[in-house]
Amino acid sequence: MECAYEESLYSIMHRVGKTKHRKEELYFFLKDAFSVDDENHYEALTRVGREKKPQTCIEVFVDRAEDLIAKDPNGYSDPYCMLGVQLGGGDDVGASDFYSRTVKQVVTTKVHKATLDPIWQEKFTLDVEDVYSDLFHLEIWDEDAEKGNLVTSASKVIEVASVKGLGRFFKEMAESTKGSAAQDDFLGCVTIPLRDIPSGGMNKWLDLTSRFSKSSSVRGRIKLEVLIRCRERRGKPVTDEYDTVRSVRLYETVLTLFAEQQLQHAESSSTWSGFIPALAMTILDQIAVQKNVSPMQRAVSKWAVFCRINTASQLDFALLLGILQDLNSQWLHTTSHTPQQENSVQTSFEEFIEYCLRLLAKHREVWPQATAEGQTNMDYMLKFVVYQITS
């Protein structure tokens, strides 16, 4: 349990993405949940504070754009995206200022010919130095092979070893296009402070804006999915693989502790709503993001944890049915599942069906027919069994 406590402390200390709660609030809640006294808490906090900060990156999925400006005589454009991370942008998020600051890494999408609604669906990973001050920046350009397009120039960025060299390259490229004929090739941009990205990531449409002037002719929007995650944590590399056994075990350990803490304050286990406080969810979110626990696995873990709790303290079947429905929704919207997930779900389903059958065998004792509560619980259990078998 000490390991889980220090892992949680580290997750709070080095929060990734936008959160609603201050570190001090999260520390206090965690300390209370784990029943740690002041001396041991501050000793653990000191140990964790000496550890190396995590190395972070962002995963960007460039999905599509729509309603772009037509720049070519045929009434279309040949759009592509150029994207990177601006280091140390602070509070200044001006798009034009992007080029006067250091850029560590730049990548480009493929060019799509003759369209105003391109679909790229390309994924990139970009390194981050400071999740609190760095900016993500993306621009859409229209390829013009006759003039010499920027996608060819941008590809050379990968060959530049110096970070300062990258900054100069982008500044010169911006200055060479500003006010020239090549300016016509610009289709719009978006700039996102990394500190504004939620810990669970963002997946949304963003309106394109001008790079230099509000009066510039820009329209359309782009759909992006951006997720912040760790490359290195507590001095050790974080594998690109999601849902490792150790990560899942940590997540379920902390979730179990938070759930059981709330259950202790409930009038009875059968009337507990399953409520987990926002502070607890913030800590769990940080563990999931930093340890690569996927949304699919989180749904599996919640189901597994509540099933285990139910074996010791019978929970409300309406609550369990809701958790099962959430799991089923995640399962149907996930293209692949790990053998560990499939085995965990299958085992828990089999055990839970057996548990339900045992209750049915003594239903008069468990749910007296004379009580409305007993009848309701049995009805929900039957709905639960039917849903589990048919879904």
Task: State the DSSP string of 77-112.
Answer: B-EEEEEEEETT-TT---SGGGGGS-EEEEEE----
Q: Please state, in angstroms and as integers, the Cα–Cα distance from residue 126 to each residue in 17, 86, 105, 194, 277, following that order.
A: 15, 11, 7, 12, 33
Task: Point out the residues of the chain with pLDDT beneath 70.
Answer: 89-104, 145-184, 212-216, 368-370, 373-374, 391
Q: According to the model, what pLDDT value does residue 21 have?
A: 92
pLDDT digits 0-9 by tens, 25-84: 999 999 999 999 999 999 999 999 999 999 999 999 999 999 999 988 898 999 999 999
The structure tokens listed for 193 are 């402070």
**CATH 2.60.40.150 is the classification of domain 55-233:** yes
The pLDDT value given to residue 333: 85
The full set of domain ranges for the chain reads 55-233, 239-390
pLDDT at position 2 = 79
Q: 122, exposed or middle or buried, with CB in 10 Å at 0-12, 13-18, 19+?
A: middle
Query: Quick one: pLDDT at residue 157?
Result: 46
Backbone angles phi, psi at 179, to 5 degrees: 80, 5
Note the pLDDT of residue 175: 54
CA distance 360 to 286: 40
What's the Cα-to-Cα distance from 55 to each of 3, 189, 190, rounded to whole Å? 21, 27, 24
